[in-house]
Amino acid sequence: MSIQAIKALHIIFVISWFAGLFYIVRLFIYHAEAQLKASPEKEIISDQLKFMQRKLWYIITLPAMLLTICFGVWLFIEQPFLLKAGWMHVKLNLLVLLVVYNLVCHRIFKKFQSDEIKWSSTQLRFWNELATLFMVAIVFVVMQKDATNWVLATLGFFGVGVGLMIAIKLYKKFRKS
């Protein structure tokens, strides 16, 4: 298989992985909010959301993560010089943090499947934005490979984070009114 095909598959599975991460936490938010409903609506909605979460997690999110990693390793096998690039070390560290984020999402998923819902919808909204921050940081590091641009990317990363927190607070105020 050509390097371009391997890169294309890597990118396709990265996109699928992030889509799964974005949507699973959104389903967690709806699930947490369903707990505020009266019976039997609460149970009906919760059962449907648990079903949707299982399908999303086991059919899309986890396989996409594993395939992202497999095609990434394949790229290193084909292009070992990438491991010497400074920007790649930054990307790999962000990837490790993203895998930790994924593992925490898996733990939340298992708790929600057992009806142990301890997260509020507001906490989950903040948690959801963390995946966005990882995506922004990883894309900037990959696209801006020199050290000067890493500094700008890091500042942009934190700027996006602050902007997202402000947006969540404004949304919450808007939603209450």
Q: For the segment 100-140, what is each residue's pLDDT rounded down to a tens digit?
A: 999 999 999 999 999 999 999 989 998 998 998 899 888 88
Is 10 assigned a ligand-binding role in the annotation?
A: yes
Q: Percentage of the chain surpassing pLDDT 70?
A: 94
Question: Distance (Å, rounded) from C-alpha 83 to C-alpha 92?
Answer: 9
Among candidate residues 17, 54, 26, the one with its CA nearest the CA of residue 124: 26
Residues 6+ apart with CB under 8 A from 7: 71, 75
- Helix or strand or coil: residue 72? helix
The pLDDT value recorded for residue 174 is 83
Range of the domain at 49: 3-176
Q: What b-and-e string marks burial along 128-161, b requiring 16 or more CB atoms within 10 Å of the CB? A: bbbbebbbbbbebbeebeeeeebeebeeebeebb
The pLDDT value recorded for residue 168 is 79
Average pLDDT, rounded, for the chain: 91
pLDDT tops 70 at residue 149: no
This prediction's pTM: 0.84
Identify whether the C-beta of residue 153 lies closer than 8 Å to the C-beta of residue 106: no
Q: How many domains does the chain have?
A: 1
Structure tokens at 115: 């009806």
Identify whether the C-beta of residue 6 lies closer than 8 Å to the C-beta of residue 71: yes
Is 91 assigned a ligand-binding role in the annotation?
A: yes
* Residue 167 C-beta-side C-alpha neighbours within 13 Å: 10
Rounded to the nearest 10 degrees, the angle between the axes of helix 3-34 and helix 62-78 is 160
